[in-house]
Amino acid sequence: MTTTPTLETAGGVKVVKPTVASHFRDYFGRIRGGDLGALPAVLGLVILVAIFGSARSDTFFSAGNFANLFNQAAGTIMIAMGLIFVLLLGEIDLSAGFAAGVCGAVMAILLTEHGYNQGVALAAALATGVVIGLLLGLLVSKVGIPSFVVTLAAFLAFQGVLLNLLGEGKNISIPDGFIKSLNKDSLPVAWSWALAVAAVAGFALIQFLRHRGRARRGLVTEPIGIIVLRVVGIAALLLVSTAILTQERAINPAIATLKGVPIAAPVIGGFLVLWTFVLGRTTYGRHVYAVGGNAEAARRAGIPVDRIRISVFVIGSFMAAVGGVMLVSRAGSVDPNTGGSSTLLYAVGAAVIGGTSLFGGKGKMIHAVIGGAVIAVIDNGMFLMDFSSGTRYMFTGIILLIAAGVDALARRRAAATGNR
């Protein structure tokens, strides 16, 4: 350690001077130490895409299928984002799937049977989510019932609520409009490019401002190479995706043209930015991590642990409602199975596959997106390869098991290397 270059930061504390090389060294060190983050999911995604791509290069790699993936994954990702808040506290919400269904049904009924406009129906669906979350959170934190039991009961009850709302198995179609286009239509090409460029510019600006702010205070800054690498990476990802999605993907362009980024993509991106900001840059987010890491320490630090616990269930069910809206929008209708079958397990799977720990305290919003992409790719690719849905479920189950196994092994490894 004597040869490591050091520099002085605030108040003259000596710290290791970060370089591009040390950054990579630290990263690999963390991985060896059991802090895997989203790495397994990203690798898995690359491998899966390679497999499906080589087996069905014509269909899997088409622009149409790429756009389709966003619509397929949107519901799962939204629910998974809410679940990450719940998982960060080491809790679980098994009712998120049917909560999504109930909120979707409330929206559909208001739209069709009561003739409310789209905005009111959407707001009602989201408000229903908040109320559900409040109820779950109060039962868990104030009454003290384990979240597994509370939400298992809610899972059963909401299934019944959904059936009753729909009058024993009716299927309600929603009218055309804003809600239906959310997870079905695409943005105009010009808007698609504008949004992509704005996103890249915004990301670069934030990175630059943070670097400058720290440098001005004489704090340790990241090497400029890492920042450039990060910005170039994001730019490449967003711009290449936009280029693919703005290609014509209608089967017969003469009848109806179909191009542009699916509206679902900026919806996912918007919530990703919002919740990443909340978790990473606000006091509230800091307190969520603190309660998940060590509830006793958080309590002694004066953090209202109960209120934090309630709030994560509120956010969880709110995002379930958003997910329900996306599911209903994609299907164009609500039926008793909306949010049922594998919806919840896919969402939990997405969060865990993405790298969020089931044991609390560890997870990021991006995990929902990466994990959701993995699940959508498996579902989509295996469908294109003509596997039966039985085989698809089995395969998804195995992937989830692997992800949870990686999480558990990484924790053991982290404990062994003193990282936990």
Residues lying near another protein in the complex (CB under 8 A) are found at 9-16, 18, 33, 213-214, 217-220, 281-283, 286-287, 289-290, 292-294, 296-298, 300-303, 361-362, 414, 418-420
Whole-angstrom Cα distance, residue 247 to residue 29?
42
Q: Tokens representing 91?
A: 């809790």
Whole-angstrom Cα distance, residue 409 to residue 311?
30
Supply the minimum distance, in Å, between the C-beta of residue 10 and another protein: 3
Nearer to another protein, 62 or 276 (CB): 276
Supply the minimum distance, in Å, between the C-beta of residue 305 and another protein: 11
Nearer to another protein, 252 or 283 (CB): 283
- 417 to each of 29, 355, 360, 364, how far by Cα in Å? 11, 19, 19, 23
Supply the minimum distance, in Å, between the C-beta of residue 285 and another protein: 8
Place of tokens 């949107």: 74
Supply the minimum distance, in Å, between the C-beta of residue 271 and another protein: 18
Residue 197 amino acid letter:
V
Nearer to another protein, 336 or 361 (CB): 361
Nearer to another protein, 112 or 276 (CB): 276
Which of 339, 311, 366, 278 is CA-nearest to residue 79?
Answer: 339
Supply the minimum distance, in Å, between the C-beta of residue 296 and another protein: 7
Place of tokens 């504390």: 13
Whole-angstrom Cα distance, residue 29 to residue 93?
33
Supply the minimum distance, in Å, between the C-beta of residue 108 and another protein: 35
Which SS3 state, helix, strand or coil, does residue 254 take?
coil
Nearer to another protein, 364 or 392 (CB): 364
Nearer to another protein, 184 or 211 (CB): 211
Helix, strand, coil percent values for the chain (each to nearest 5): 70, 5, 25
- 363 to each of 85, 116, 247, 292, how far by Cα in Å? 9, 39, 35, 10
Supply the minimum distance, in Å, between the C-beta of residue 419 and another protein: 5
Nearer to another protein, 174 or 290 (CB): 290
Cβ–Cβ < 8 Å for 101, 369: no
